[in-house]
């Protein structure tokens, strides 16, 4: 599971290995493939009107940005175990909350990093207003956090369990 604090990113071994493999591919074979695409498109003629060339250059820019992002994560990574099932909200925990005490208006999410779930689940950062408000709370506890519009929202912790992937 991941958590970020003081520029340290906590990762499970599985997440670290997955991100390392992605970085290795992007900075090795991925760069070679993009360079080949760019060269092939360049040979097609006028670069000002060459959509294939511009698309390949844009793809290259995105890949280089992802390489920088991955290096930043992995350079600051500390590998550890998934959190224990203590019933306390913290990084690496899947949390279900009820809004304003309404048990029918709930949301379940991971308190951690998007790098670990790849879009399979809603993720909130521990540093977000909601993450900060609920961190350390237990089932049955309530917390209040500030919404982007400046209003306050109360939530009740309904369930807390470790993220298992």
Give the predicted TM-score (pTM) of the model. Answer: 0.59
Joined tokens for residue 165: 């992937």
Q: Residue 158's pLDDT band (boundaries 50, 70, 90)?
A: very high
Joined tokens for residue 137: 């709370």
**Residues carrying CATH 3.10.50.30, the chain:** 93-162
DSSP structure string for 21-85: HHHHHIIIIIHHHHHHHHHHHHTTS-GGG-HHHHHHHHHHHHHHHHHHHHHHHHHTEEE-PPPP-
Parallel, antiparallel, or unpaired: how do β-strands 8-11 and 77-79 relate? parallel
Q: Which helix (H) or strand (E) holds 15?
A: helix 13-25
CATH number of 3-79: 1.10.287.180
Joined tokens for residue 125: 């950062």
Distance separating alpha carbons of residues 58 and 66, to the nearest angstrom: 13
**Residues carrying CATH 1.10.287.180, the chain:** 3-79
Looking at 21-25, 38-42, 144-148, which range is the least confident one?
A: 38-42
pLDDT value at residue 114? 67
Which CATH class name applies to 93-162?
A: alpha beta
């Amino acid at each position: 599971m991941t958590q970020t604090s003081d520029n340290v990113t906590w990762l499970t071994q599985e997440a670290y290995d997955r991100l390392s493999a992605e970085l290795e591919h992007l900075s090795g074979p991925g760069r070679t493939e993009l360079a080949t695409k760019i060269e092939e498109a360049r040979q097609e003629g006028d670069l000002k009107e060459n959509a294939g060339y511009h698309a390949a250059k844009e793809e290259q820019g995105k890949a280089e940005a992802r390489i920088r992002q991955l290096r930043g994560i992995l350079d600051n990574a500390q590998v550890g175990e998934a959190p224990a099932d203590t019933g306390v909200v913290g990084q690496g925990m899947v949390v279900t909350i009820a809004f304003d005490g309404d048990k029918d208006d709930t949301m379940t999410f991971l308190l951690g990093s998007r790098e670990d779930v790849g879009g399979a689940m809603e993720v909130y950062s521990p540093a977000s207003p909601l993450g900060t408000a609920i961190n350390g709370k237990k089932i049955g506890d309530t917390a209040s956090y500030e919404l982007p519009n400046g209003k306050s929202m109360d939530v009740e912790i309904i369930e807390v369990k470790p993220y298992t992937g």
